[in-house]
């Protein structure tokens, strides 16, 4: 059997030999369960202590492949979940005017453009006013709008019937979400 040495660093958060030896015991136990054979421990203080194990060259190769494959899959999943997509429905847009809606027109401008983006399966409704995009949900605003859900308020008319409120934009949001279907 062709054995090679595998060097494993012993981590201790304080310069304490007792803590390093405790970590050594855990590392030895963990690696011996994987088929590694303890050879020696070298104590060089807090940041430079390590253990040397003997392991079959083929086993080490397989372990490294598993480790890097696992990390690769984890990174791909992370990127898929974290990075926004380009938006698969960027071309889906609809111009709306006061005549387009069945309910009261909520905006202080006479025209707006609705868009809907799909980001990793999540629909992001957006309204564009005077060329500037505003998300109609917090998620949509963070990805495609102004990262300030209140920024749209300057274009939403005040509700004359209820002091301190604005006209409901629910119908606008529903119309924008339809563009993602």
Per-residue tens of pLDDT for the chain, all 181 residues: 688 888 877 766 666 788 888 888 888 888 888 888 889 888 887 777 888 888 888 888 888 888 888 888 878 777 766 665 554 445 578 999 999 999 999 999 999 999 998 877 888 999 999 999 999 998 888 888 888 888 999 999 999 999 999 999 999 999 999 998 8
Q: Is 131 helix (H, G, I), strand (E, B) or coil?
A: coil
Query: From CA 129, how far away is CA 133, in angstroms rounded?
Result: 6
Residue entry with tokens 């203080």: 45
Q: How many CB atoms lie within 10 A of CB 143?
A: 19
The pTM (predicted TM-score) of the whole model is 0.51
């Amino acid at each position: 059997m062709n054995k090679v040495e595998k060097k494993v660093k012993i981590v201790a958060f304080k310069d304490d030999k007792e803590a390093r030896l405790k970590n050594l015991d855990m590392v030895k136990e963990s690696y011996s369960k994987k088929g590694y054979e303890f050879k020696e421990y070298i104590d060089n203080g807090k940041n430079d202590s390590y253990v040397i194990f003997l392991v079959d060259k083929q086993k080490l190769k397989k372990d490294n492949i598993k480790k890097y494959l696992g990390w690769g899959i984890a990174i791909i999943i992370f990127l898929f979940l974290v990075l926004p997509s380009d938006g698969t429905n960027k071309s889906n847009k609809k111009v709306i005017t006061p005549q387009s809606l069945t309910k009261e027109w909520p905006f202080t401008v006479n025209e707006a453009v609705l868009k809907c983006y799909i980001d990793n399966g999540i629909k992001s409704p957006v309204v564009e006013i005077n060329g500037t995009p505003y998300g109609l949900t917090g998620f949509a605003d963070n990805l495609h709008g102004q990262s300030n859900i209140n920024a749209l308020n300057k274009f939403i008319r005040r509700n004359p019937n209820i002091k301190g409120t604005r006209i409901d934009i629910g119908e606008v949001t529903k119309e924008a979400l339809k563009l993602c279907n």
